[in-house]
Amino acid sequence: MMNTPVIEVNGISKSFSSTKALTGVSMSVFPGEIRGLIGENGSGKSTLSAIISGNLKADEGTMKLFGEPYAPQTSFDASEKGVSMIVQEQGTIATITAAANIFAGREKQFCKFGLLNSKALNTEAQKLMEKIGVTDIPMETVVRFLSFEERKLVEVARSFYKTPELFIVDETTTALPRKGREILYGLIRQLKTRGKSVLFISHDIEELNGVCDTVTILRDGKLIATLGENEKDPQKMKSLMVGREVTANYYRDDFECTGMGEDPILKVESLSGGQIDNVSFILKKGEILGIAGLSDSGMHELGKMIFGLLPLESGRVSLADGTPVDTPHHAIRNKIGFMSKNRDTESMLISMSIQDNVVLPSLDNLKKFGFFITPGAEKALAKEWCGKLNVKMRDLGQSCAELSGGNKQKIVLAKWLGNGSDIFILDCPTRGIDIGVKEAIYDIMEDLKKQGKSIIMISEELPEIIGMSDRIITIKDGKSTREFRRSRSLTEQDIIQYMI
Ligand SMILES: Nc1ncnc2c1ncn2[C@@H]1O[C@H](COP(=O)(O)OP(=O)(O)OP(=O)(O)O)[C@@H](O)[C@H]1O
Ligand SMILES: [Mg+2]
């Protein structure tokens, strides 16, 4: 690959007040190359991508696109020049239609005498969606009414209005169901065969290795190494990323269902609603119960239903003593915590500070003499848990909106840990989390179990389901299909056949 790089970045630095997000990063990506970008949460991956895609401006450094100076003013400008990006968080405008999102900034072509021809706009948008292989999203729908997955696909279509020369995918695939993921992988392969390039960000090292030709590693905003095709050893990538050796197996190492009583702590009886059809189980004290399924199996809805966030058509959720749990308010009062898969919109008050978010469910516990909450107590609680989870932040007063994706996830977990919950419903608890912190989260789960607390872990990642659960329930098309007990001999294949 001795030709001119598609993109060349030179000495890029970027700070956000006192946070140095990037320091002197230089790298080149060549035509037809699929480059992976990895690094711990907060290491600067999204910041670098945002600079290349015109969403942010660097403080220092220069860029070249096909050897020509390149300094995009906006993301629209970048996409006109051939660089487009799927962002890590929401990248669509919620209040306008899917079609309007796809052609945002390009509406002119659908205007005549100052009037917008919505019909033509919708038809063109539909064609573009079909081009990427999606036929079931109505283009006239206001984006707010679409699911996270659908919105992401709208973003993908927007990026392919013009075939990008450089396509940046920031930590998107883990949020997509299998079908959406396959669409993206397919598009990436197509781009490669046409000599176009991709910058691909993921915390899933196996996925990254499968998709990418080469990998660049960032640590604390600095470029540590770029590994070529024959150097991409997972263990090497992990230790370069974290700056120390990482244990190969970070799951539980016991294979008996130890520490688990027979006492039920939560009863889920004949739950139906939405996609969920007659699901029942009893969660025991000290148990980690894994719920495995494809992301469109209904298992994410199940978590929300148990927490009282989604209405039930029939069935009942109750504590061991019979107390019903039917609203989030009841759930929280009864020491149930819930971490949603979509942390930005459902699990945190994004514009509030880190401290406010962490202490929110604990305000009752912090009251002294039944009335007063001292600022000191709030701060101590937030400090304790942000410390344990190694949250990368400036201070506790920083707005959650400014945190990197994985660090937002940690705040959501801190919130329920700090509140002393007894039951945790964790929906994709390690999505977007770097391997170092993943290790810490698994340790915390084991610790919670040892304290007699119970966890329902909903996850698409079978290794963590097998690695951590005492018991596993598979969900397919809204129904529970099989139950497995923890065992050394359990394999992904055993489980998959009951999921698909
Ligand atoms: N708008 C902002 N204001 C303040 N700080 C910011 C802002 N955006 C990013 N940062 C900080 O810059 C650093 C790098 O963040 P970035 O989002 O690039 O990390 P990342 O590698 O993408 O992490 P993750 O894997 O968690 O997504 C972090 O410390 C983050 O808190
Ligand atoms: Mg990021």
> Which tens digit of pLDDT belongs to each residue from 470-484?
999 999 999 999 999
**Residue bearing the CA closest to ligand 1, atom 28:** 42
**Residue bearing the CA closest to ligand 1, atom 7:** 402
In ligand 1, which atom is closest to the CA atom of 45?
21
Q: What does pTM read for this prediction? A: 0.82
What would the two tokens of residue 487 be? 């065992």
Residue 426 reports pLDDT greater than 90: yes
What would the two tokens of residue 14 be? 């970027």
In ligand 1, which atom is closest to the CA atom of 17?
4
Q: Where do runs of H (alpha helix) occur along 198-337?
A: 205-211, 234-242, 299-306, 328-333
Residue 326 reports pLDDT greater than 80: yes
> Which position has the token pair 């919620």?
94
Top mutation candidate among 200, 208, 404, 433 for ligand 1, by most atoms within 8 Å of CB: 404
> Which position has the token pair 């029942």?
280
Residue 1 reports pLDDT greater than 90: no
Q: List, for residues 184-205, the tens digit of each pLDDT value.
A: 999 999 999 999 999 999 988 8
pLDDT at 68: 97
In ligand 1, which atom is closest to the CA atom of 434?
25
In ligand 1, which atom is closest to the CA atom of 404?
17
Residues pairing with 144 in the sheet: none
More confident call, 245 vs 57: 57
**Residue bearing the CA closest to ligand 1, atom 15:** 42
Report, as an integer, the average pLDDT of 375-381: 84
Which of the ligands is closest to the CA of residue 409? 1
**Residue bearing the CA closest to ligand 1, atom 3:** 402
CA distance 40 to 42: 6
Confidence of residue 341 (pLDDT cuts 50, 70, 90): confident
**Residue bearing the CA closest to ligand 1, atom 29:** 42
Mean confidence (pLDDT) of the chain: 90
**Residue bearing the CA closest to ligand 1, atom 2:** 402
**Residue bearing the CA closest to ligand 1, atom 17:** 404
CA distance 400 to 408: 7
Confidence of residue 418 (pLDDT cuts 50, 70, 90): confident
Report, as an integer, the average pLDDT of 166-175: 89
Which of the ligands is closest to the CA of residue 22? 1
Instruction: Quote the ligand 1 centre to 138 CA distance (angstroms).
Output: 34
pLDDT at 376: 82
Instruction: Quote the ligand 2 centre to 199 CA distance (angstroms).
Output: 13
Instruction: Quote the ligand 2 centre to 404 CA distance (angstroms).
Output: 5
More confident call, 89 vs 163: 163
Question: Among 367, 345, 355, 431, which Cα is nearest to 398's?
Answer: 355
pLDDT at 19: 85
Confidence of residue 178 (pLDDT cuts 50, 70, 90): confident
Residue 368 reports pLDDT greater than 80: no
Share of the chain above pLDDT 90, in %: 62
Instruction: Quote the ligand 2 centre to 119 CA distance (angstroms).
Output: 36
Give CA 454 to chain center in angstroms: 23
Q: Are 339 and 427 in contact (CB under 8 A)?
A: yes
Residues with CB under 6 A from ligand 1: 16, 19, 21, 39, 41-47, 88, 171, 392, 402-407
Coil, strand or helix at 472: strand
From-to residues of CATH 3.40.50.300 in the chain? 7-242, 264-496
- For the residues of 223-292, what is the DSSP string, one character each? EEEEE-TT---HHHHHHHHHTS---S--S----S-TT--S-EEEEEEEEEETTEEEEEEEEETT-EEEEE
pLDDT at 344: 67
Radius of gyration of the chain (CA): 23
Confidence of residue 147 (pLDDT cuts 50, 70, 90): confident
**Residue bearing the CA closest to ligand 1, atom 27:** 405
Least confident of 3-17, 204-218, 247-261, 393-407: 247-261
Which of the ligands is closest to the CA of residue 406? 1
Top mutation candidate among 20, 203, 392, 402 for ligand 1, by most atoms within 8 Å of CB: 402
Instruction: Quote the ligand 1 centre to 123 CA distance (angstroms).
Output: 38
CATH architecture for the domain at 264-496: 3-Layer(aba) Sandwich (3.40)
Residue 258 reports pLDDT greater than 90: no
In ligand 1, which atom is closest to the CA atom of 218?
21
Task: Find all residues with CB under 8 Å of 245, minimum gap 6, and list them.
Answer: 239
**Residue bearing the CA closest to ligand 1, atom 8:** 402
Which of the ligands is closest to the CA of residue 45? 1
Q: Which CATH class is domain 7-242?
A: alpha beta
Report, as an integer, the average pLDDT of 225-242: 91
Instruction: Quote the ligand 1 centre to 442 CA distance (angstroms).
Output: 23
CA distance 164 to 155: 13
